[in-house]
């Protein structure tokens, strides 16, 4: 009973979102091909932003550590100082890499501001389809791995259809062999 109420409220929220999109934007209709192109573009922008911020973080850490006076003969926490400095530069690069997608999302939103409401609505529909059709990973094994649980590698209609076939094959294998 609680699931029916939850589904009904979720459906009414989705309908309200689509109604507000219909009145707030001029072009709410987006086909799946355009959606997957924008989704691929978003991922590429995020990777590029992560790469740039990773380099900036590593170089900023290196520039800071280059100005700090360190006695190279004294160990830091019992470790060679050059190893510690190298590890700090790597940590600065990793921190920059983690900050990158926040900049990438902003760049993508500014670049595609006209179609952003339609893209977000289509993305919500896509994620609901992924959630509805994905398999239960509790029965996975080395010989029967779960097919892309979050749908991250789906970037076209043909890959989505292949993902659906893979999910059905996974379900069939788990029913036959368990």
pLDDT of residue 36: 95
**Bridge partners, residue 76, by sequence:** 79
Taking residues 4-20, what's their average pLDDT?
53
pLDDT tens per residue, range 13-72: 555 555 544 444 444 588 999 999 999 999 999 999 999 999 999 999 999 998 988 887
Cα–Cα dist 53/47, whole Å? 10
The torsion of the CA quartet 119, 125, 127, 132, rounded to 10 degrees, works out to -170
Could you give the count of Cα atoms lying within 13 Å of 118 in the half-sphere of its Cβ?
18
Long-range contacts of 126-135 (CB under 8 A, 24+ apart): 126/35, 126/151, 127/151, 128/14, 130/154, 133/164, 133/167, 134/167, 135/167, 135/170, 135/171, 135/174
pTM higher than the cut 0.75: no
pLDDT tens per residue, range 98-122: 999 999 999 999 999 999 999 999 9
Average pLDDT, the chain: 85
Cα–Cα dist 128/124, whole Å? 6
Which two tokens mark 12? 């009414």
């Amino acid at each position: 009973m609680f699931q029916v109420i939850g589904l009904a409220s979720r459906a009414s929220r989705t309908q309200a979102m689509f109604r507000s999109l219909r009145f707030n934007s001029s072009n709410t209709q987006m086909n799946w091909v355009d959606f997957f192109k924008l989704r691929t573009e978003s991922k590429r922008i995020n990777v590029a932003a992560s790469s740039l911020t990773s380099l900036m973080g590593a170089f900023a850490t290196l520039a800071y550590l280059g100005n700090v006076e360190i006695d190279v003969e004294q160990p830091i926490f019992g470790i060679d100082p050059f190893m510690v400095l190298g590890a700090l530069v790597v940590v600065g690069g990793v921190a920059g890499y983690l900050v990158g997608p926040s900049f990438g999302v902003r760049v993508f939103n500014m670049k595609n501001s006209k179609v952003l409401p339609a893209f977000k609505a289509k993305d919500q529909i896509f994620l609901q389809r992924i959630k509805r059709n994905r398999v239960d990973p509790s029965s996975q094994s080395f010989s029967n791995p779960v097919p892309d649980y979050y749908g991250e590698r789906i970037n076209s209609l043909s890959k989505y259809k292949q993902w659906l076939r893979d999910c059905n094959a996974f379900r069939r294998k788990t029913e036959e062999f368990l």
